[in-house]
Each structure stands twice: as C-alpha cells, then as structure tokens.
C-alpha cells in the first residue's frame, strides 16, 4: 500500500524525473532553512512526517505506516534547491520553501527540450518521466533551469505542524 501511495504521489508531480545516479551526494546535502521537521500533506492528500537526520545528512520521510524514503537537498540558486528522493525509484526535482510549505517547480514547456538537448540528456516518457544521461548532466540541467528562471511553480507539500 505504501508503494502505491508513493507512486500516486509521484504521478501528481510533473516536477520530478526518475534518474539513474545520485544527483545530490551525501557530502553536498544540506538542511534547508525554512523546512521544518513535522507533518506535511503531499499533493495526493497523504500525510507524511519529514525529519532531518543530521547523522546521515538527509531527510527521513515516513507515513503513519512506516518509512517511505530519504531525501537530500543541495542549493541550486538563492532560495532554490535540487532534491533527490529515494524510495522504490530515484527521483530528482527542484523545490523551495514557501512560507511553511515546500513549493515544487518544473521546467516551462518551451525550456525543457532546449535544456535537455544542451546537456545531452534524453527524456524517456512513462508514468514517471526518466532523464537518461549522466547524473552530472542532470545536475547541470537543473542548475541552468534555476538560473534561467524558465520554471513554473507546481504543487506544494503543505506543512501541518509538528
């Protein structure tokens, strides 16, 4: 059931891509100012608990049924972060704190093909679109996306409290 909930969550997020390698290395992972430990409601309505794990330099994510995955964040640009979420799949997306919530961002329709080509990445359509290419190229894709400003705000993780 948890895997199904996680998949439904991912299907609601056009902002994320499935990737092969690590896009946020443990050494690069940071705790994001403005992201509080506590309960959040995902876009699919499922409540998760997000907790910073200082020993592992990552966020632990869990539903009331148990752990669902781990997330690492690295700064892309002022206020914007590259986030890698690992569970059954390895996903990468761009996010930023917005008030108590976490806003998720995706590439503008016109920008995505140009940036993919510029970084030698392919896009494999599926229930979760996959970026094909080296992890370093994926990181550079997101860095250029952040700097270009050619992205759109999508869904949010809504903070529910401690």
Q: Provide the pLDDT confidence category of residue 7 given band limits of 50, 70 and 90.
A: very low
Task: Determine what percent of the chain is predicted with pLDDT higher than 70.
Answer: 91
More confident residue, 46 or 51: 51
Q: What pLDDT score does 155 carry?
A: 92
Each residue of 71-113: pLDDT tens digit? 999 999 999 999 999 988 899 999 999 999 999 999 999 999 9
Distance CA 110, CA 93 (A): 18
44 φ, ψ to 5°?
Answer: -85, 5
More confident residue, 7 or 51: 51
pTM: 0.87
Confidence check: pLDDT of 35 > 90: yes
Residue 114: Cβ-neighbour burial (10 angstroms; 0-12, 13-18, 19+): middle
Residues 6+ apart with CB under 8 A from 121: 131, 132, 133, 137, 138, 141
| Helix H or strand E segment including 136 | helix 135-148
Selection from 91, 79, 66, 72 nearest residue 9 by Cα: 91
- DSSP classification of residue 32: P
Q: Provide the pLDDT confidence category of residue 14 given band limits of 50, 70 and 90.
A: low
Q: What pLDDT score does 89 carry?
A: 86
Q: What pLDDT score does 152 carry?
A: 95
Q: Please name every residue paired with 70 in a beta bridge, in sequence order, or none if there are none.
A: 60, 86
The two beta strands, 90-98 and 80-86, are antiparallel
CA dist list (Å): 50 to 32, 110, 113, 134, 159: 12, 33, 33, 29, 10
């Amino acid at each position: 059931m948890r895997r199904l909930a996680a998949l439904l969550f991912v299907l609601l997020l056009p902002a994320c891509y499935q990737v092969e390698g690590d896009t946020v290395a443990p050494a690069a992972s940071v705790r994001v100012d403005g992201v509080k430990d506590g309960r959040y409601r995902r876009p699919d309505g499922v409540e998760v608990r997000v907790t910073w794990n200082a020993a592992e330099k990552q966020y632990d994510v869990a539903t009331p049924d148990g752990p669902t995955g781990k997330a690492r964040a690295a700064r892309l640009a002022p206020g914007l972060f590259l986030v890698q979420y690992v569970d059954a799949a390895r996903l990468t997306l761009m996010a930023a704190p917005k008030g108590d919530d976490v806003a998720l961002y995706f590439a503008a329709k016109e920008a995505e093909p140009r940036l993919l080509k510029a970084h030698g990445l392919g896009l494999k359509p599926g229930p979760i679109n996959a970026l094909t290419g080296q992890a370093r190229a994926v990181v550079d894709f997101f860095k250029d996306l952040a700097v270009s400003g050619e992205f759109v705000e999508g869904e949010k993780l809504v903070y529910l409290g401690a």
